[in-house]
Amino acid sequence: MNVRGSAIARFSAVTLACVSLATLIAWGHQPIAVGGSFPTRDAALIVEDESISQVAYVELTNEAPEAWLRLSIDEPGRVFVSLGVPKIDRLIDYRPLLRLIGPVGENEAIVFETQAADEPRVFHEPFTDTDSWIHVESWVEVAEAGTYYVVASASAETADKVWISVGRREVFGIADVLSLPSIIRDVRVFHEVPPPSAIGLRDWAVLLAFLFVAGVVVYVATR
């Protein structure tokens, strides 16, 4: 194969891998935590890049009714934040709060009230086959660089499961692809959706797609 043909083949392989990856996972956030506890400022979960679409699934409790995420923002701009809960019958009237706390402190925090969300948006995530109620979706202008915190909270009496997400830019690597089977399992458990009783055609198709994408990426990287 000549140089031009090799370049075309490589470009086609990369394009096909990218399209396959996008088809598989572009609709979902990148999970940075499924479970775990981040109950205080000092124990906050660190978000490396607030522009990347990322989500943390956390169960609030009576003893730890808050979940903290820490963002290091390098320059003024916009940050996307959202808050949701699994679509579970006991959570139909559950209304956690979301706050964005900036460098100035809690006195200047932006509070996103969810009590007014009488009909939160229902969201179906097809890859994990789970459903959620979304209570907050908002772009926020940040006027200065510094350390920011995104905090989900509920009263001790009502504390239950929440997920918090930041960012909109989809970025996935091969490690994310290979870890997806375990992530799918953990996210389904978090949503209290039973795992499938047996491996079906869809599961085999997903597995084969994973292997195909991984093979293409390795092939292109070693050429």
pLDDT tier, 25 (very low <50, low <70, confident <90, very high otherwise):
very low
Range of the structural domain that residue 39 is part of: 28-169
142 and 64 in a common domain: yes
Which range is most confident: 2-16, 65-79, 168-182? 65-79
- Contact, 66 vs 96, CB < 8 A? no
Cα–Cα distance measured from residue 78 to residue 2, given in angstroms and rounded to the nearest whole number: 47
Say how many domains are in the chain.
2
Amino acid at residue number 121: R
Q: Using CA atoms, how far apart are residues 210 and 205, in angstroms rounded to an integer? A: 9
Query: Which of 126, 150, 169 is the C-terminal boundary of a domain?
Result: 169
Give φ, ψ of 78 to 5 degrees: -120, 145
Least confident among 28-42, 80-94, 164-178, 198-212? 198-212
Exposure string over 48-71, b if 16+ CB within 10 A, otherwise e: eebbbbbbbbbebeeebbbbbbbb
Q: Are residues 129 and 69 in the same domain?
A: yes
First-to-last alpha carbon distance for the chain, in angstroms, is 13
Same domain for 129 and 62, yes or no, is yes
**Per-residue model confidence as pLDDT tens digits over 144-199:** 999 999 999 999 999 999 999 999 887 656 666 666 778 888 999 999 998 755 55
Specify whether 48 is located in the same domain as 96: yes
- Same domain for 126 and 38, yes or no, is yes
CATH of residue 163's domain is: 2.60.120.380
Residue 63: which pLDDT band, with cuts at 50, 70 and 90?
very high
- Residue type for position 221: A
Q: Are 86 and 113 in the same domain?
A: yes
Nearest-angstrom CA–CA distance, 13 and 215 = 10
